[in-house]
Amino acid sequence: MEKVEDVFATNDPWASPTQQVFTVIGIVFVSYKIFTFWRMIASLFILPGKSLSKFGREGTWVVVTGASDGIGKEYSLQLAAKTYNIVLVSRTKSKLDALASEIQEKYKVQTKVYAMDFAANKDSDYKALNKLISDLDISVLINNVGQSHSIPVPFNETTESEMKDIITINCMGTLRVTQLITPGMIQRKRGLILTMGSFGGLTPTPLLATYSGSKAFLQHWSTALSAELAPYNIHVQLVQSYLVTSAMSKIRRSSALIPNPKQFVKAALSRLGRSGGAQGMAGTSTPYWSHGIMHWAIQSFVGTMSGIVLNINKSMHEDIRKRALRKAEREAKKSS
Ligand SMILES: NC(=O)c1ccc[n+]([C@@H]2O[C@H](COP(=O)([O-])OP(=O)(O)OC[C@H]3O[C@@H](n4cnc5c(N)ncnc54)[C@H](OP(=O)(O)O)[C@@H]3O)[C@@H](O)[C@H]2O)c1
Ligand SMILES: *[C@@H]1O[C@H](CO)[C@@H](O)[C@H](O)[C@H]1NC(C)=O
Ligand SMILES: *[C@@H]1O[C@H](CO)[C@@H](O)[C@H](O)[C@H]1NC(C)=O
């Protein structure tokens, strides 16, 4: 019988064909990872994004949903600063009016506002919005409106109204607004449609199951649409993001991992058409540098659907729920 030592007895690594095959596979695998790492770094830090003027010159219009606060408000301000006119859509009329005045004063561009509750899903709202925008040369649509669970919650304890609102706002709202805007873009043969995704949808997220599903829906819908509209010179991109400071995330202090909306939107607008951390995902971008590296690492080493990530996220959100419940309890005691 051949002894094990005899097989490996030589110092020449090219001696056995099996060793040769595995050496080559190993080198190819490691080289590929190194290549995608540098491609991601170049995409996040070095290569310029597409210029906005490719989608419509200054003075054309931008439509932003969920425009009155957080990330949507920043998209509105930064696009107005580039002298686009802005249509602001969200729930609270007073906040929209205040932002419209601020934009007109600071940037001398035109604004229009429309207040509607996307959760109500009223035909009359979409008709009125269509009337407001039908004569405008719209270059950019920012599908930003979104709602999450008020706190992480087991699916069986999720109220029907929260469940319905999340799906109606995040999915139906985005579909219906996009259907109003695309015919004009197709006619003009140019446009940019950015939709806010979330790491909550990139990795399945226990205790935010409905929100997670709604953002995963947007990922597939948006990427599918990007292929349909590419022949018309319309760029459709899902914008992936980990946490950003805002009313929704309930995080006030920014950090390396958690930018404020201003930093986030600046990264998104300067990296148009670049994948950033979303390497290998068509029509998708993870533009903020630390989110991008996190995305690349999850995707490269474990996979977004992996059981390990799923369990990390489960305990993370169980923890957030516990803290949120304790805080609610303290506040209830204080007020009684
Ligand atoms: N913040 C994060 O950590 C984070 C991370 C990943 C992805 N995102 C996504 O980014 C988007 C914006 O989030 P954000 O953090 O900027 O949220 P935010 O600060 O809470 O702002 C939400 C905006 O949407 C509007 N809105 C909410 N519900 C609405 C409804 N039913 N009808 C009409 N307008 C409504 C709000 O209007 P009112 O002010 O009138 O209520 C507000 O203008 C969302 O799609 C979210 O899923 C956020
Ligand atoms: C809901 O499911 C969770 C497990 O996810 C369980 O701990 C809880 O007791 C259930 N609640 C109800 C009301 O059935
Ligand atoms: C899920 O866990 C991974 C790994 O820790 C993390 O990078 C990702 O951001 C988490 N997802 C959410 C929605 O927090």
Instruction: Extract long-range pairs of 41-49: CB within 8 Å, 24+ residues apart.
Output: 43/271, 43/274, 43/275, 43/276, 43/277, 43/279, 43/292, 44/271, 44/274, 44/276, 44/277, 44/287, 44/289, 44/292, 44/293, 45/289, 47/274, 48/270, 49/269, 49/270, 49/271, 49/272, 49/273, 49/274
**Rounded to two decimals, what is the model's pTM?**
0.94
Domain range for residue 97?
52-322
Active site residue 211: yes
159 lines ligand 2 (CB under 6 A): no
Q: Tell whether 80 is covered by a domain.
A: yes
Residue 58 has what pLDDT?
84
Ligand 3 closest atom vs CA 212: 13
Contact 138, 180 (CB under 8 A): no
11 lines ligand 2 (CB under 6 A): no
* pLDDT band at residue 10 under the 50/70/90 scheme: low
Of 10 and 74, the one with more pLDDT: 74
Q: Tell whether 138 is covered by a domain.
A: yes
Name the residue of 63, 64, 68, 71 whose CB sits within 8 Å of the most ligand 1 atoms, as the mutation to test its pocket.
71
Shortest-distance ligand to the CA of residue 249: 1
- What pairing do the DSSP bridges indicate for beta strands 138-143 and 191-196? parallel
Residue 288's identity, in one-letter code, is: Y
Name the residue of 89, 113, 126, 145 whose CB sits within 8 Å of the most ligand 1 atoms, as the mutation to test its pocket.
145
Residue 121's identity, in one-letter code, is: N
Q: Which of 84, 107, 114, 211 is catalytic?
A: 211
pLDDT at residue 99 greater than cutoff 70: yes
Q: Tell whether 8 is covered by a domain.
A: no
Q: Tell whether 10 is covered by a domain.
A: no
Q: Tell whether 47 is covered by a domain.
A: no
Q: Tell whether 145 is covered by a domain.
A: yes
Which residues, including other chains, have CB under 8 Å from residue 27's CB and lie 6 or more apart? none
- Give the C-alpha separation, 285 to 81, whole Å: 23
The domain total for the chain is 1
Tens of pLDDT, residues 277-292:
999 999 999 999 999 9
Q: Which two tokens stand for residue 137?
A: 């040369």
Shortest-distance ligand to the CA of residue 171: 1
* pLDDT band at residue 336 under the 50/70/90 scheme: confident
pLDDT at residue 29 greater than cutoff 70: yes
Protein residue with least CA distance to atom 3, ligand 2? 154
* pLDDT band at residue 47 under the 50/70/90 scheme: very high
Tens of pLDDT, residues 196-243:
999 999 999 999 999 999 999 999 999 999 999 999 999 999 999 999
**At 194, is the secondary structure helix, strand, or coil?**
strand
Pocket of ligand 1 (CB under 6 A): 66-72, 90-92, 95, 117-119, 144-147, 169, 196, 198, 241, 243-244, 246-249
Tens of pLDDT, residues 133-160:
999 999 999 999 999 999 999 999 999 9
Residue 250 has what pLDDT?
94
Average pLDDT over residues 285-307: 97
Residue 335 has what pLDDT?
85
Q: Tell whether 27 is covered by a domain.
A: no
**CATH for 166:** 3.40.50.720
**Bridge partners, residue 112, by sequence:** 87
Q: Following DSSP, what letter does each residue of 250-269 receive, concatenated?
A: TB-S--SSS--HHHHHHHHH
Shortest-distance ligand to the CA of residue 158: 2
Q: Tell whether 100 is covered by a domain.
A: yes
* pLDDT band at residue 97 under the 50/70/90 scheme: very high
